[in-house]
Structure 1
Amino acid sequence: MNPSNRFAWAALLMLATLICATGTAGAAEPLSERNRQVIERAFADWTSGKGSFFEDVISPDVVWTIQGSGPAAGVYRGRQEFLHRAVRPFAQRLATPIVPRVQAIWAQGNQVVVRWNGTATARDGAPYRNEYVWIFDMHDDRAVRVEAFLDLAPYQDVIDRIPLAAEQDSRRAG
Protein backbone atom coordinates (compact mmCIF):
# COMPACT_ATOMS: atom_id res chain seq x y z
CA MET A 1 0.00 0.00 0.00
CA ASN A 2 1.44 3.39 -0.89
CA PRO A 3 2.16 5.97 1.85
CA SER A 4 -0.87 8.16 1.07
CA ASN A 5 -3.17 5.16 1.43
CA ARG A 6 -1.52 4.27 4.76
CA PHE A 7 -2.21 7.80 5.95
CA ALA A 8 -5.88 7.53 4.94
CA TRP A 9 -6.20 4.16 6.70
CA ALA A 10 -4.56 5.52 9.83
CA ALA A 11 -6.86 8.54 9.84
CA LEU A 12 -9.93 6.36 9.41
CA LEU A 13 -8.88 3.99 12.16
CA MET A 14 -8.30 6.95 14.45
CA LEU A 15 -11.79 8.24 13.59
CA ALA A 16 -13.32 4.86 14.29
CA THR A 17 -11.43 4.60 17.58
CA LEU A 18 -12.64 8.06 18.55
CA ILE A 19 -16.23 7.12 17.75
CA CYS A 20 -15.93 4.03 19.94
CA ALA A 21 -14.12 5.85 22.75
CA THR A 22 -16.57 8.74 22.98
CA GLY A 23 -19.56 6.44 23.06
CA THR A 24 -23.11 7.65 22.86
CA ALA A 25 -25.67 8.70 25.39
CA GLY A 26 -29.39 8.55 25.80
CA ALA A 27 -31.47 8.53 22.63
CA ALA A 28 -28.41 8.16 20.39
CA GLU A 29 -27.65 4.67 21.75
CA PRO A 30 -30.67 2.92 20.22
CA LEU A 31 -30.15 4.79 16.94
CA SER A 32 -26.45 3.88 16.84
CA GLU A 33 -27.18 0.26 17.63
CA ARG A 34 -29.98 0.01 15.07
CA ASN A 35 -27.79 1.50 12.35
CA ARG A 36 -24.90 -0.78 13.29
CA GLN A 37 -27.20 -3.80 13.13
CA VAL A 38 -28.57 -2.81 9.71
CA ILE A 39 -25.06 -2.67 8.27
CA GLU A 40 -23.88 -5.77 10.13
CA ARG A 41 -26.88 -7.77 8.85
CA ALA A 42 -26.36 -6.52 5.28
CA PHE A 43 -22.70 -7.58 5.32
CA ALA A 44 -23.63 -10.97 6.83
CA ASP A 45 -26.20 -11.48 4.06
CA TRP A 46 -23.65 -10.43 1.42
CA THR A 47 -21.08 -12.86 2.85
CA SER A 48 -23.57 -15.73 2.72
CA GLY A 49 -24.81 -14.82 -0.78
CA LYS A 50 -28.24 -13.60 0.34
CA GLY A 51 -29.97 -10.44 -0.78
CA SER A 52 -28.35 -7.61 -2.68
CA PHE A 53 -26.24 -5.35 -0.50
CA PHE A 54 -26.59 -2.29 -2.71
CA GLU A 55 -30.35 -2.70 -3.18
CA ASP A 56 -30.98 -3.63 0.47
CA VAL A 57 -29.02 -0.86 2.17
CA ILE A 58 -28.19 1.94 -0.24
CA SER A 59 -30.72 4.70 -0.83
CA PRO A 60 -31.70 5.23 -4.47
CA ASP A 61 -30.55 8.86 -4.01
CA VAL A 62 -27.23 8.02 -2.34
CA VAL A 63 -24.19 10.21 -2.81
CA TRP A 64 -21.30 7.71 -2.94
CA THR A 65 -17.77 9.09 -2.90
CA ILE A 66 -14.75 6.94 -3.71
CA GLN A 67 -11.73 8.70 -2.26
CA GLY A 68 -8.34 8.63 -3.94
CA SER A 69 -7.07 9.14 -7.44
CA GLY A 70 -7.71 7.27 -10.63
CA PRO A 71 -10.63 6.75 -12.99
CA ALA A 72 -12.94 5.22 -10.36
CA ALA A 73 -12.39 7.93 -7.74
CA GLY A 74 -15.02 10.59 -7.52
CA VAL A 75 -18.61 11.32 -6.58
CA TYR A 76 -21.49 9.17 -7.83
CA ARG A 77 -24.96 10.66 -7.50
CA GLY A 78 -27.60 7.98 -7.11
CA ARG A 79 -27.42 4.23 -6.64
CA GLN A 80 -27.95 3.52 -10.34
CA GLU A 81 -25.09 5.77 -11.41
CA PHE A 82 -22.78 4.14 -8.85
CA LEU A 83 -23.79 0.63 -9.90
CA HIS A 84 -23.56 1.44 -13.61
CA ARG A 85 -20.21 3.27 -13.52
CA ALA A 86 -18.28 1.58 -10.67
CA VAL A 87 -19.78 -1.72 -9.51
CA ARG A 88 -20.99 -3.49 -12.66
CA PRO A 89 -17.94 -2.80 -14.87
CA PHE A 90 -15.80 -4.31 -12.12
CA ALA A 91 -18.10 -7.21 -11.18
CA GLN A 92 -18.41 -8.27 -14.84
CA ARG A 93 -14.66 -8.88 -14.87
CA LEU A 94 -14.82 -11.25 -11.91
CA ALA A 95 -15.38 -15.01 -12.07
CA THR A 96 -16.65 -15.01 -8.48
CA PRO A 97 -18.43 -12.33 -6.48
CA ILE A 98 -16.47 -10.38 -3.90
CA VAL A 99 -16.80 -12.03 -0.50
CA PRO A 100 -16.49 -9.53 2.33
CA ARG A 101 -14.94 -10.29 5.68
CA VAL A 102 -15.78 -7.62 8.22
CA GLN A 103 -12.92 -6.64 10.51
CA ALA A 104 -14.87 -4.15 12.64
CA ILE A 105 -18.00 -2.01 12.70
CA TRP A 106 -18.34 1.19 14.70
CA ALA A 107 -21.46 3.34 15.00
CA GLN A 108 -22.42 6.65 16.51
CA GLY A 109 -25.81 8.10 15.78
CA ASN A 110 -26.37 8.08 12.03
CA GLN A 111 -22.77 7.23 11.15
CA VAL A 112 -21.50 3.68 10.72
CA VAL A 113 -17.88 2.88 9.87
CA VAL A 114 -17.00 -0.56 8.51
CA ARG A 115 -13.51 -1.88 7.95
CA TRP A 116 -13.56 -4.98 5.75
CA ASN A 117 -11.50 -7.14 3.42
CA GLY A 118 -12.82 -8.34 0.08
CA THR A 119 -11.66 -11.32 -1.94
CA ALA A 120 -12.70 -12.68 -5.32
CA THR A 121 -11.29 -14.38 -8.39
CA ALA A 122 -10.97 -12.42 -11.62
CA ARG A 123 -12.11 -13.94 -14.92
CA ASP A 124 -8.48 -14.62 -15.83
CA GLY A 125 -8.10 -16.76 -12.68
CA ALA A 126 -6.00 -14.27 -10.73
CA PRO A 127 -7.02 -13.48 -7.15
CA TYR A 128 -8.43 -10.08 -6.21
CA ARG A 129 -7.88 -8.86 -2.67
CA ASN A 130 -8.50 -5.45 -1.21
CA GLU A 131 -9.06 -3.65 2.08
CA TYR A 132 -11.91 -1.21 2.49
CA VAL A 133 -13.23 1.34 4.93
CA TRP A 134 -16.75 2.55 4.20
CA ILE A 135 -18.39 5.34 6.17
CA PHE A 136 -22.17 5.34 5.96
CA ASP A 137 -24.54 8.20 6.83
CA MET A 138 -27.81 6.43 7.63
CA HIS A 139 -31.39 7.68 7.47
CA ASP A 140 -34.38 5.37 8.01
CA ASP A 141 -32.20 2.23 7.69
CA ARG A 142 -30.74 3.38 4.36
CA ALA A 143 -27.32 4.80 3.53
CA VAL A 144 -27.85 8.25 2.05
CA ARG A 145 -24.12 9.15 1.87
CA VAL A 146 -21.16 6.80 1.67
CA GLU A 147 -17.49 7.61 1.68
CA ALA A 148 -15.36 4.69 0.46
CA PHE A 149 -11.65 4.18 0.99
CA LEU A 150 -9.82 1.35 -0.75
CA ASP A 151 -6.61 0.68 -2.60
CA LEU A 152 -7.66 1.66 -6.11
CA ALA A 153 -4.62 0.03 -7.77
CA PRO A 154 -5.94 -3.59 -7.53
CA TYR A 155 -9.41 -2.43 -8.62
CA GLN A 156 -8.01 -0.58 -11.65
CA ASP A 157 -5.71 -3.50 -12.48
CA VAL A 158 -8.75 -5.76 -12.92
CA ILE A 159 -10.50 -3.11 -15.06
CA ASP A 160 -7.43 -2.60 -17.26
CA ARG A 161 -6.39 -6.26 -17.51
CA ILE A 162 -9.68 -7.97 -18.27
CA PRO A 163 -11.89 -6.82 -21.14
CA LEU A 164 -15.65 -7.06 -20.83
CA ALA A 165 -17.28 -9.92 -22.75
CA ALA A 166 -18.58 -7.49 -25.42
CA GLU A 167 -15.05 -6.08 -25.84
CA GLN A 168 -13.65 -9.61 -26.29
CA ASP A 169 -16.31 -10.46 -28.88
CA SER A 170 -15.56 -7.32 -30.92
CA ARG A 171 -11.81 -8.05 -30.78
CA ARG A 172 -12.40 -11.58 -32.09
CA ALA A 173 -14.66 -10.32 -34.89
CA GLY A 174 -12.19 -7.56 -35.89
Structure 2
Amino acid sequence: MSNSKLSVATLPRIAFAACVWVFTAVSGVAAADEASNKATVLKAFDAWAAGTGSPYDLLADNVTWTITGNSAASKSYGSRDAFINEVIKPFNARMSVGLKPTIRNMYADGDTVIVFFDAAGTAKDGQPYKNTYAWFLDLDGGRIVKASAFFDSIAFNKLWELPAAGE
Protein backbone atom coordinates (compact mmCIF):
# COMPACT_ATOMS: atom_id res chain seq x y z
CA MET A 1 0.00 0.00 0.00
CA SER A 2 2.80 2.46 0.76
CA ASN A 3 4.29 1.77 -2.72
CA SER A 4 0.95 2.71 -4.21
CA LYS A 5 0.89 5.98 -2.28
CA LEU A 6 4.48 6.71 -3.27
CA SER A 7 3.75 6.29 -6.98
CA VAL A 8 0.62 8.42 -6.77
CA ALA A 9 2.55 11.15 -4.93
CA THR A 10 5.39 10.92 -7.46
CA LEU A 11 3.15 11.09 -10.55
CA PRO A 12 2.64 14.88 -10.44
CA ARG A 13 6.40 15.38 -10.15
CA ILE A 14 7.05 13.11 -13.12
CA ALA A 15 4.36 14.88 -15.14
CA PHE A 16 5.85 18.26 -14.22
CA ALA A 17 9.35 17.13 -15.20
CA ALA A 18 8.02 15.81 -18.51
CA CYS A 19 6.28 19.13 -19.20
CA VAL A 20 9.46 21.06 -18.44
CA TRP A 21 11.46 18.78 -20.75
CA VAL A 22 8.91 19.14 -23.60
CA PHE A 23 8.76 22.93 -23.15
CA THR A 24 12.56 23.16 -23.18
CA ALA A 25 12.79 20.99 -26.29
CA VAL A 26 10.09 22.99 -28.10
CA SER A 27 11.63 26.29 -27.01
CA GLY A 28 14.98 25.19 -28.38
CA VAL A 29 13.39 24.31 -31.74
CA ALA A 30 11.51 27.63 -31.80
CA ALA A 31 14.71 29.54 -31.04
CA ALA A 32 16.50 27.67 -33.84
CA ASP A 33 13.64 28.46 -36.25
CA GLU A 34 13.73 32.13 -35.23
CA ALA A 35 17.47 32.28 -35.79
CA SER A 36 17.14 30.53 -39.15
CA ASN A 37 14.31 32.81 -40.30
CA LYS A 38 16.23 35.90 -39.21
CA ALA A 39 19.37 34.69 -41.01
CA THR A 40 17.37 33.98 -44.18
CA VAL A 41 15.87 37.47 -44.24
CA LEU A 42 19.21 39.11 -43.37
CA LYS A 43 20.89 37.27 -46.25
CA ALA A 44 18.18 38.51 -48.64
CA PHE A 45 18.63 42.10 -47.40
CA ASP A 46 22.41 41.81 -47.78
CA ALA A 47 21.88 40.64 -51.38
CA TRP A 48 19.52 43.58 -51.97
CA ALA A 49 22.10 46.05 -50.64
CA ALA A 50 24.76 44.44 -52.86
CA GLY A 51 22.49 44.51 -55.92
CA THR A 52 22.54 40.72 -56.28
CA GLY A 53 19.04 39.83 -55.07
CA SER A 54 16.25 40.99 -52.81
CA PRO A 55 13.80 39.87 -50.13
CA TYR A 56 11.27 39.47 -52.95
CA ASP A 57 13.23 36.38 -54.00
CA LEU A 58 11.83 34.75 -50.83
CA LEU A 59 8.17 35.32 -51.71
CA ALA A 60 5.96 32.26 -51.88
CA ASP A 61 3.78 32.18 -54.99
CA ASN A 62 0.66 32.53 -52.81
CA VAL A 63 2.05 35.24 -50.52
CA THR A 64 -0.34 37.83 -49.14
CA TRP A 65 1.49 41.18 -49.06
CA THR A 66 -0.43 43.99 -47.38
CA ILE A 67 0.63 47.62 -47.68
CA THR A 68 -1.03 49.38 -44.77
CA GLY A 69 -2.08 52.98 -44.57
CA ASN A 70 -3.28 55.35 -47.26
CA SER A 71 -0.65 55.27 -49.99
CA ALA A 72 -1.58 54.89 -53.64
CA ALA A 73 -0.56 51.22 -53.37
CA SER A 74 -2.20 50.42 -50.02
CA LYS A 75 -4.14 47.17 -50.22
CA SER A 76 -3.57 43.43 -49.94
CA TYR A 77 -1.97 41.62 -52.86
CA GLY A 78 -2.92 37.93 -52.98
CA SER A 79 0.05 36.52 -54.86
CA ARG A 80 3.69 37.06 -55.66
CA ASP A 81 2.85 37.98 -59.25
CA ALA A 82 0.20 40.53 -58.23
CA PHE A 83 2.54 42.24 -55.78
CA ILE A 84 5.55 42.27 -58.12
CA ASN A 85 3.55 43.41 -61.17
CA GLU A 86 1.40 46.01 -59.41
CA VAL A 87 3.93 47.48 -56.98
CA ILE A 88 7.56 46.49 -57.44
CA LYS A 89 7.85 46.76 -61.24
CA PRO A 90 6.02 50.14 -61.41
CA PHE A 91 8.07 51.38 -58.44
CA ASN A 92 11.37 50.38 -60.06
CA ALA A 93 10.25 51.94 -63.37
CA ARG A 94 10.18 55.31 -61.58
CA MET A 95 13.73 54.94 -60.27
CA SER A 96 17.01 55.70 -62.06
CA VAL A 97 19.05 54.30 -59.15
CA GLY A 98 17.32 51.50 -57.24
CA LEU A 99 16.75 51.38 -53.52
CA LYS A 100 19.52 50.31 -51.19
CA PRO A 101 18.37 49.25 -47.72
CA THR A 102 20.06 49.99 -44.41
CA ILE A 103 18.70 47.89 -41.57
CA ARG A 104 18.15 49.73 -38.31
CA ASN A 105 17.04 46.61 -36.46
CA MET A 106 15.68 43.14 -37.03
CA TYR A 107 13.61 41.03 -34.66
CA ALA A 108 12.35 37.46 -34.79
CA ASP A 109 9.43 35.96 -32.92
CA GLY A 110 8.46 32.46 -33.95
CA ASP A 111 7.83 32.44 -37.69
CA THR A 112 7.72 36.25 -37.90
CA VAL A 113 10.71 38.43 -38.74
CA ILE A 114 10.32 42.19 -38.31
CA VAL A 115 12.69 44.39 -40.27
CA PHE A 116 12.96 48.10 -39.46
CA PHE A 117 14.99 49.78 -42.18
CA ASP A 118 15.70 52.85 -44.26
CA ALA A 119 16.01 52.70 -48.04
CA ALA A 120 17.26 55.31 -50.46
CA GLY A 121 17.65 55.65 -54.21
CA THR A 122 17.20 58.21 -56.98
CA ALA A 123 13.97 58.81 -58.87
CA LYS A 124 13.84 59.28 -62.65
CA ASP A 125 13.47 63.03 -62.11
CA GLY A 126 16.89 63.07 -60.40
CA GLN A 127 15.45 63.64 -56.94
CA PRO A 128 16.44 61.44 -54.04
CA TYR A 129 13.86 58.99 -52.74
CA LYS A 130 14.21 58.09 -49.07
CA ASN A 131 11.80 56.21 -46.88
CA THR A 132 11.69 54.31 -43.63
CA TYR A 133 9.98 50.93 -43.56
CA ALA A 134 8.80 48.33 -41.09
CA TRP A 135 8.05 44.94 -42.60
CA PHE A 136 6.44 42.10 -40.66
CA LEU A 137 7.30 38.93 -42.56
CA ASP A 138 5.78 35.52 -41.76
CA LEU A 139 7.95 32.68 -43.04
CA ASP A 140 7.21 29.04 -43.71
CA GLY A 141 10.03 26.82 -44.88
CA GLY A 142 12.24 29.81 -45.65
CA ARG A 143 9.58 31.46 -47.84
CA ILE A 144 7.60 34.62 -47.05
CA VAL A 145 3.93 33.63 -46.94
CA LYS A 146 2.48 36.79 -45.41
CA ALA A 147 3.78 40.34 -45.12
CA SER A 148 2.57 43.63 -43.72
CA ALA A 149 4.48 46.73 -44.79
CA PHE A 150 4.46 50.15 -43.14
CA PHE A 151 6.15 53.25 -44.62
CA ASP A 152 5.81 57.01 -45.20
CA SER A 153 2.97 57.18 -47.71
CA ILE A 154 3.63 60.86 -48.54
CA ALA A 155 7.13 60.10 -49.83
CA PHE A 156 5.83 57.02 -51.66
CA ASN A 157 2.92 58.87 -53.29
CA LYS A 158 5.23 61.65 -54.48
CA LEU A 159 7.33 59.04 -56.30
CA TRP A 160 4.23 57.19 -57.55
CA GLU A 161 3.00 60.38 -59.24
CA LEU A 162 6.07 60.38 -61.52
CA PRO A 163 5.60 58.76 -64.92
CA ALA A 164 6.97 55.23 -65.08
CA ALA A 165 9.50 54.42 -67.77
CA GLY A 166 7.67 54.08 -71.07
CA GLU A 167 4.73 56.31 -70.01
Q: SS state of the match for residue 138, structure 1?
A: strand
Does 1:41 find its partner at 2:43?
yes
2-side partners of 1:46 and 1:165: how far apart? 22
How high is the TM-score relative to the length of structure 2? 0.82
CA RMSD of aligned residues (A): 1.2
Partner residue in 2 for 1:9: none
Partner residue in 1 for 2:34: 32
How high is the TM-score relative to the length of structure 1? 0.78
The answer on whether the counterparts of 2:45 and 2:54 sit within 8 Å (CA) in structure 1 is no
The answer on whether the counterparts of 1:90 and 1:155 sit within 8 Å (CA) in structure 2 is no
Partner residue in 2 for 1:148: 149
> Which structure has the bigger radius of gyration?
2
**Shift of the alpha carbon at 1:52?**
3.9
Identify unmatched segments of 5+ residues in structure 1. Answer: 1-23, 168-174
**Shift of the alpha carbon at 1:155?**
1.0
Q: SS state of the match for residue 166, structure 1?
A: coil
Partner residue in 2 for 1:163: 163
**Shift of the alpha carbon at 1:83?**
0.8
Letter in 2 for 1:131: T
Identify unmatched segments of 5+ residues in structure 2. Answer: 1-25
Partner residue in 1 for 2:138: 137
Partner residue in 1 for 2:63: 62
Deviating beyond 3 angstroms after TM superposition, the runs of 4 or more aligned structure 1 residues are none
Letter in 1 for 2:94: R
> 1:30-49: CA deviations, max 9, x gaps?
00000000000000011011
2-side partners of 1:165 and 1:27: how far apart? 47
Q: SS state of the match for residue 28, structure 2?
A: coil
1-side partners of 2:150 and 2:30: how far apart? 26
1-side partners of 2:124 and 2:106: how far apart? 31
1-side partners of 2:54 and 2:42: how far apart? 14
Q: Percent identity?
A: 32
Letter in 2 for 1:49: G
**1:5-154 residue pairs with structure 2 within 5 A?**
25-54=27-56, 56-154=57-155
1-side partners of 2:76 and 2:61: how far apart? 15
2-side partners of 1:52 and 1:133: how far apart? 16
2-side partners of 1:26 and 1:53: how far apart? 26
